Structure 1
Amino acid sequence: MRNLFITKPVHAEPHVVAGEEVTLARSLDWRHLIMLGIGAVIGAGIFVITGTAAAEHAGPAIILSFIFAGIACAFAALCYAELSAMIPVSGSAYSYAYSTLGESVAWFVGWSLVLEYLFAASTVAVGWAGYTLSFLDQFGMHLPNVLRQAPITFKHEDLVLTGAWFNLPAVLIIGAIATLCYRGIKESATVNAFIVALKVLVVLLVVIFGAHYVTPANWHPFIPPNQAPGVYGWSGVFRGASIVFFAYIGFDAVSTAAQEVKNPQRDMPIGILGSLAICTVLYILMAAVLTGMVPFMQLDTAEPVATALAAHPALAWLKTLAELAAIAGLSTVILVMLMGQPRIFYAMATDGLMPKTLGKVHPKFKTPHRATVIVSVIAAVMAAFLPISLLGDVVSMGTLVAFATVSAGVLILRYTQPGLKRSFRVPLAIVICPLGVLSCLALIWIMPVRNWLLLLGWTVIGFVVYFSYGYKHSKLRQAQQS
């Protein structure tokens, strides 16, 4: 049992693969990190998930759902800021857990992050496809129905066949973005920054102009009467919070780039906390305007922003602009997810817990190119054949597991290694860290049974892989035994 909880030293080391030092290029600063965070956070939450969560769970109180989810994220974000500045390596929560809670817990967290990033990229790709198809349909460019969606979907928790073959647009966008991620993080970050500026501008335009068409009656009742567990009422508000939590995972992706930041001790806290603060304000404003523009039940579509704007003919010009921003904006979410997951594989591979081919870095582009290809292929297959409702919920669960672990890790290190240099410290850690753990566990608790079964199945598969490969090839364990 002791072998399962061995921990790594808390310091950044160059990763070594097959006896050769392999380095990622340090080319990012805090501005790139804030843009990466916004790129990942402002996307599916506004352009896809908001409508479903409001229509099916929280009603106009989706505003409260975003506030509660944002508070839970703020606890975790403070903990991420401390650990990412202290342990500036790729791997995010996986690397932090390895240094605080031990190898087996790190594996569990890393495996949960695989679930998070792969499903996130797939979920957003499906949302991107919905917006793109809607936009093209306006101009008479119709893709055959058999290529427009996944062959299965869920209706009120029941599995339903759609008659389609697969979601072709979702596959194409993942392929295009994977190519960009393959070529370099600096190039990816530059493209991301340009698109982020565009979509934030459009979000602000929707908030400013949409506010003129808000009907206060649409906010009443603010919390609709409860109809079933998780359907309206306060249980629906908290269920909505567990769903929109998916929208906040971007700052986790920021931490995966720590090994490619010029000055991580200063820039990582700025990037993580700055992007979260900006995005939380934008989400709350957008949720208020959308639920005020139309009755919340009408937002249960694949493109709720476009739906709300379409209800007001005077905003037709903004609807077109919003659809273009959604198409571009969701692209950056996919981009950041496809940047993050290969770097987690890279960290796990260089620790020996994954096959070392996943830790290979391209000699010219300085990216984990093989991991990028593998992740992209898997994400494309899931986007082609799985429905968005299933994908989004599972992402939230994997994210919450990682956030709870990071929150616990900060407090553990405060007591086990108090002398470590900390360029950023969580204020009132004795309060913030437990609140981070408890808030994440509370959101996990209210997830439906289906999600628990999926997470359990995923965890079992993960530990089969760990004990059949990772445990035997762990470089840390081999070093201790030699």
Structure 2
Amino acid sequence: MATDKASLKRHITLWPLVLYGVGDILGAGIYGLVGKAAGQMGNAVWMAFIVSMIAASFTGLSYASLGSRYPRAGGASYVTHKAFRSNFLAYAVGLAVLASGLTSMATACRVFAGYFSGLFPLFSVPVIIIGFALSLTIIIFIGIRETIWANSFLAAIEICGLLFIILMGSSFVGSINYLDATTVQNPAGDLAIPLLLSGAVLTFYSFVGFEDILNVSEEIVEPRRTLPKGLLLSVAVASLIYMSISIVAVSVIPAAELALSKQPLVDVIGKAAPWFPPEAFSLIALMAVSNTALLNYVMGSRLLYGMSSQGLMPKFLAVVHPKRLTPHRAILILLVVLLILALSGDISDLARATSVLLLVCFSLMNLALILLQRKDQVKGRFEVPAFIPAAGLVVCMAMLTQANSKELLIAGGILVFIGLLYFFVKPSAEAIEKMDV
């Protein structure tokens, strides 16, 4: 029988945390993103990743600083509460982050089912989705240590697959001009600042995922020291892999051909190592998709638990299983919502809209750090100068200007729904006072 006396257990040390972050950042998107970016940037695709890495790093540094100050399971919701002293804003940020995680999980479930049914056509897509979601639920319920083991295994396979591509394609490196940005839209090949910025907008979302580390703060060993190190190392490792992959890809296959490919990295390895079975990359992609879903599930369950502990969600969610030491009720609630989303059909528009909301949350986190640095607050073990969150805020606001009207409309609808839900749930009036405990 569950009891609210149990609490989350600290099991995550530095290098498992780095694998957690790298696995969350990489995901399966890199397998298609390189082709799209090459179509926009030509051979200079690697520079788009550098610019977007710098842009994302401002917010990453802000998150690292906030994590060293407030290592709490509520993550962005807790920080918002601390900085703005607003129940509603903290509630909205928490649910916006949760919505982004849920759509990522549901999308991953559908992609997994697509890959799996291609390899094993015996099973129908709905059966695969349900089986996959239940498998993730069991792993996450068993314990954070076991979940981190699963993540480390899946992330290691994904990273090894990408390193294999880099190794096999390394002999082609040096054969082209890596500053040539020739594309259909840019026949002159000029590497202008507007082109770099448009490429950075396309690749910026490939760095999203580092923020999820904040939500497992209460399960990290020595979080005030380990969390900032783990977060920054995760971004650094992912950046090196992205840049190396992009350089190798355009070295092996011309950028124009890469842009037209449906499976650019599979085509790259097909030319660089024709003896390697392409089916193996379907399995690696399965691992990457599984890890994306797993880590978003962990993030969502800890976020719900943390918000409930703050008094922003129903108290029955702030319960940890006495034996497994996991927030089992939050896990089960998310399973129900996940299955509804994953089985409902195409949710790509919803996923893009929640990405817009995530940028809003990033903006608020940067603004929160600016405010908290000015207030009489306890300093963290990792402090950054004020221009870092200011730059992060500017970058995120600039990225928001790239959202189209449909994405903004859906995002606005989600916020209206969150607002209505807030007034129905009626979070505890004592929630703000809990911030000082």
TM-score (normalizing by structure 2):
0.87
Deviation at residue 410 of structure 1 after TM alignment:
1.4
Query: Which residue is 2:7 aligned to?
Result: 23
Q: CA deviation at 1:435?
A: 0.4
Superposed CA offset, 1:33-53 (max 9, x none): 111101211222313444455
Query: Are residue 269 (structure 1) and residue 228 (structure 2) matched?
Result: yes
Q: CA deviation at 1:314?
A: 3.9
Q: CA RMSD in A?
A: 3.1
Of 96-105 and 18-27, more deviation after overlay is shown by 18-27
Counterpart check, 1:364 vs 2:323: yes
2:96–2:357 CA contact under 8 A, matched in 1: yes
Cα offset for 1:422?
A: 1.9
The correspondence of residues 364-443 of structure 1 with structure 2, limited to 5 A, is: 364-387=323-346, 389-390=348-349, 392-417=351-376, 420-426=378-384, 429-443=385-399
- Report the CA distance shift for 1:372/1:280 in structure 2 as closer, same or farther (over 3 A): same
Residues 1:375 and 1:198: Cα distance change in structure 2 (over 3 Å) = same
Query: Is structure 2 residue 269 aligned with structure 1 residue 309?
Result: yes
CA separation in 1, counterparts of 2:310 and 2:221? 23
Answer whether contact 1:293 1:308 (CA < 8 A) is retained: yes
Match of 2:242 in 1: 283
Q: Does 1:450 align with 2:406?
A: yes
Match of 2:430 in 1: 475
Q: CA deviation at 1:235?
A: 6.4
Q: Distance in 1 between matches of 2:218 and 2:379?
A: 18
1:115 pairs with one of 85, 89, 99: 99
Match of 1:157 in 2: none
Question: Do structure 1's residue 96 and structure 2's residue 83 form an aligned pair?
Answer: no
Q: Write out per-residue CA displacement over residues 364-399 of structure 1, whole angstroms, 9 at most, x where no aligned residue.
A: 111111211222332233233343743552343232
In structure 2, relative to structure 1, the CA distance for the partners of 1:36 and 1:296 (3 Å cut) is farther
Q: Pairwise mapping of residues 125-140 of structure 1 onto structure 2 (< 5 A)?
A: 125-134=109-118, 136=119
Q: Answer whether contact 1:36 1:250 (CA < 8 A) is retained.
A: no
Contact 1:131 1:303 in 2 (8 A): no
CA 1:300–1:180: 2 relative to 1, 3 Å: farther
Which amino acid in 2 is paired with 1:96? V
Matches within 5 A, 1:49-448: 49-52=33-36, 54-55=38-39, 60-103=43-86, 104-134=88-118, 136=119, 141-142=120-121, 147=124, 169-213=128-172, 222=181, 224-226=183-185, 238=197, 241-294=200-253, 295-296=255-256, 298=258, 303-310=263-270, 312=271, 314-317=273-276, 319-387=278-346, 389-390=348-349, 392-417=351-376, 420-426=378-384, 429-448=385-404
**1:132 Cα deviation (Å)?**
3.5
> Which residues of structure 2 form unaligned runs of 5+?
none
CA distance in 2, matches of 1:479, 1:296: 56
Please give the alpha-carbon distance, in whole angstroms, between the structure 1 residues aligned to 2:295 and 2:387.
31
Task: Show the counterpart of 1:33.
Answer: 17
C-alpha distance in 2, partners of 1:477/1:225?
Answer: 55
Q: Displacement of 1:462 after TM fit?
A: 0.6
The 2-side partners of 1:386 and 1:61 are apart by: 37
Question: Within 2, Cα distance between the matches of 1:210 and 1:313?
Answer: 5
User: TM (normalized to structure 1)?
Assistant: 0.80
The one-letter code of the counterpart of 2:268 is: A
Cross-structure match for 1:5: none
User: Higher RCO, 1 or 2 (CA under 8 Å, sep at least 6)?
Assistant: 2
User: Residues 274-320 of structure 1: CA distance to partner in whole angstroms, max 9, x if unpaired?
Assistant: 1110001101211232344334555566644224334x284341634
Partners of 1:126 and 1:215 in 2: how far apart?
A: 39
Match for 1:84: what amino acid?
A: G
The 1:379–1:52 alpha-carbon spacing in structure 2 relative to 1, beyond 3 Å, is farther
- For 1:50 and 1:126, how far apart are their aligned partners in 2? 22
* Identity, % of aligned positions: 25
CA offset at residue 61 of structure 1?
A: 4.9
**Shift, 1:60, TM fit:** 4.9
Distance 1:349 1:35, change over 3 A: same
Distance (Å, rounded) in 2 between the aligned partners of 1:31 and 1:102:
34
Aligned residues: 428
Tell me the distance in 2 between the aligned counterparts of 1:255 and 1:356. Answer: 21
Query: Which residue type is aligned with residue 475 of structure 1?
Result: E
Contact 2:3/2:321 (CA < 8 Å) preserved in 1? no
Moved more, 365-374 or 269-278: 365-374
Q: Does the aligned pair in 2 maintain the 1:226–1:236 contact within 8 Å?
A: no
User: 2: CA distance between counterparts of 1:224 and 1:370?
Assistant: 51
The alpha carbon displacement at 1:191 in A equals 1.6
Change over 3 Å in CA distance of 1:299–1:359 after alignment to 2: farther
Change (3 A) 1:446 1:276: same
> What SS class does the counterpart of residue 426 from structure 2 fall into?
helix
Q: Which amino acid aligns with 1:431?
A: F
Flag structure 1 segments of 5+ consecutive residues without an equivalent. Answer: 1-17, 149-166
Q: Once the 2 structures are TM-superposed, how far is the Cα of residue 336 of structure 1 from its aligned partner?
A: 0.7
Change (3 A) 1:22 1:454: farther
After superposition, what is the alpha-carbon deviation per residue over 1:163-186, rounded to whole angstroms, capped at 9, x for unaligned? xxxx65444323321221111111
